[in-house]
Amino acid sequence: MTDNQQAILDGLSALYPNAGPELHFSNPFETLVATILAAQCTDARVNKVTPVLFRDYPDPAAMAKATPEEIFPYVKSCGFKSKAVNIVNASRMIMEQFGGVVPNTLEELTQLPGVGRKTANVVLAFSFGLPAIPVDTHVFRVANRLGLADALTVEETERQLMELIPKADWSQAHHWMIYHGRRVCHSQKPECETCTLQPYCKAAHAEQMINPKAEAKKRAQARKAKG
């Protein structure tokens, strides 16, 4: 790790000492469902719908018996109907293939409908206490702008962060970057002038200005090249 990268991690830790999940959940099943709902939706919105959803469908057994049509009205404000379909189908798979218990490995979790690597890592880190770095859009953007990673894909960013950051700090580092991305290093208009990490930030010192469109184009090209 370079001195710059260490300064960035120290700076993030000092900025967000109490960073933690902003989604509300109290067991692995709730973590799974809340994280599925949070895709392309705010945590605040998800937190508004989950208390009633979990009151009426508290576990995989109850959710597996429901239809997507029954669940959709509960979660409609979080977006697509596909989320209701995925929640019901994931619950059915948990009942049929995992004995009614949310699995605790990346391989098993990513078999569930609607569960990608990021969602699986959230469940592993925050419900099972296992070391993982869920890379969402904020973590991806902030890590690469700061120079903690130099990657065009989420998977590569996750791999580089796991190599760089001590395992004990993985979960917390994930929160630090989400907090910084939401509060300061916005996608479209990062507040570089007031950002305390600016002296160490790779993007702030790059010759070209931070350009969200160029960043998106580079990622699209990488995805295309990957096939």
For binding to ligand SF4 (CB under 6 A), which residues are involved? 145-146, 184-185, 190-192, 195, 197-198, 201, 203-204, 210
Report, in Å, the least distance between residue 215 CB and ligand SF4.
11
CA 203 to chain centroid, in Å, comes to 22
Considering the complex, state which of residue 107 and residue 193 has its C-beta at the smaller distance from ligand SF4: 193
Q: Minimal distance in Å, beta carbon 45 to ligand SF4?
A: 25
Alpha-carbon distances of 28 from 42, 56, 69, 135, 184, rounded to whole Å: 20, 17, 24, 19, 30
Tell me the one-letter amino acid at 202: K
The smaller minimum CB distance to ligand SF4, of residues 12 and 75, is found at: 12
Question: Which candidate in 65, 83, 118, 213 is catalytic?
Answer: 118
Of the pair 93, 146, the CB lying nearest ligand SF4 is at: 146
Catalytic site residue 136? yes
* Min dist. Cβ of residue 200 to ligand SF4 (A): 8
Q: How far is the CB of 205 from ligand SF4 (least distance, A)?
A: 9
Of 48, 38, 152, 18, nearest to 87 by C-alpha is 38
* Sequence-ordered alpha helix ranges (H) in the chain: 3-15, 28-38, 43-56, 60-65, 68-75, 81-97, 106-109, 117-127, 137-146, 154-164, 170-183, 202-205, 212-226
C-alpha angle 96-43-159 in degrees, rounded to nearest 5: 70
Q: Which of 43, 83, 136, 150 is catalytic?
A: 136
Tell me whether residue 26 or residue 194 sits nearer to ligand SF4 (CB atom). Answer: 194
Residues noted as catalytic? 118, 136
